[in-house]
Amino acid sequence: MNKPYVIGVAGGSGSGKTFFLKCFLEHFTPDEVCLVSQDDYYIPVAHNMTKEENKLYNFDLPTTIDADLFERDISKLMNWETVYQKEYTFNNPDIVPRILEIKPAPIIIVEGLFILHFKKIANDLDMTIFIEADENIALQRRLKRDLAERGYSNEDVNYKWHNHVVPAYKEYLLPFREQCTKIIANNSHIADDIIKVTNEISQELREKILS
C-alpha cells in the first residue's frame, strides 16, 4: 500500500489545537484518518511525587516525553501497523487510563508541542500546521482549562505559565514557525473561523490524498 500522508499539528498551550483537531477530524471517517498525540507519551512520574512536587515539576521539556516510543509508534502507523498505547491521565490518580487502539489510515495526524523539535518525527511529516494565539488569550484559555479539568489554582497555572510553558514554547516550537506549511492564527472565540479553515484544509487533502 502507499505510504500514509503524515500531518504535524503543533501549537503552544492555549493555542486551540484541541478544538482545531476536533473540527478537522469531523471531515473524515475513522478509516481515513488517525491521530497520535504527544500527550500520551509522557514518561510516568506521578507515583514518585508529592502533590507539591507535582505542581513544580516541569512537564514542558522534551525530556519528559518518551520520544523513542513516540517515534516507533509513528513508524508503525506509517507501515500500516496498529498501535496500542496507554492513555495519559495528566497524573490524576483518580482516573484509570485506557489502552488506546490507534489503527493506521491514509492520513496520520501527529500533534504536540515538540513534534518539530524531535528530528526523526519532523522528517516524517508531509505537511506541518502551526497554530498560534496571542499570549494573553492563550493564558486565559489555559487558566479556564486547568481550573475546570485539572484542579490547579490560578497561582499554580500562572507559575507554570511563566516559568515552564512560555520558555518551552519560545525554545522548542517558535523557531520552527516559519518552516511550517500553514500558519493559523486562532485568536477568535468564534468557532466558525476555525471551522472554515478546517473545511479548506480537509478539502485540499481529500483531493490530494483520498480521491
Instruction: Give whole-number Cα distances, 185 to 68, 115, 138, in Å.
Output: 31, 19, 11
What CATH number is given to the structural domain containing 85? Answer: 3.40.50.300
- Of 62, 52, 51, which Cα lies nearest the Cα of 172? 62
Taking only the tens of pLDDT, the chain with its 211 residues reads 689 999 999 999 999 999 999 999 999 999 999 999 999 999 887 666 776 777 778 989 999 999 999 999 999 999 999 999 988 776 666 677 789 999 999 999 999 999 999 999 999 999 999 999 999 999 999 988 877 666 677 888 899 999 999 999 999 999 999 999 999 999 987 788 889 999 999 999 988 888 7
CA distance 42 to 60: 10
- Of 7, 14, 64, 66, which Cα lies nearest the Cα of 35? 7
Domain containing residue 196: 5-210
CA distance 11 to 186: 10
Q: Which residue carries 473524515 as its cell?
A: 28
Cell of residue 141, nine digits: 484559555
- Of 21, 39, 20, 13, which Cα lies nearest the Cα of 135? 13
Question: Domain tally for the chain?
Answer: 1
Residue 49's beta-bridge partner residues?
none
DSSP-derived letter for residue 27 is T
**Tens digits of per-residue pLDDT, 9-39?**
999 999 999 999 999 999 999 999 999 999 9
Three-class DSSP category at 34? strand
Q: pTM for this one? A: 0.90
* Angle, vertex CA 141, rays to CA 137 and CA 143, nearest 5: 115
| Strand locations in 79-145 (E) | 83-86, 99-102, 107-111, 127-132
Instruction: Give whole-number Cα distances, 78 to 107, 110, 122, 159, 167, in Å.
Output: 9, 11, 14, 39, 32
- The catalytic residues are 39
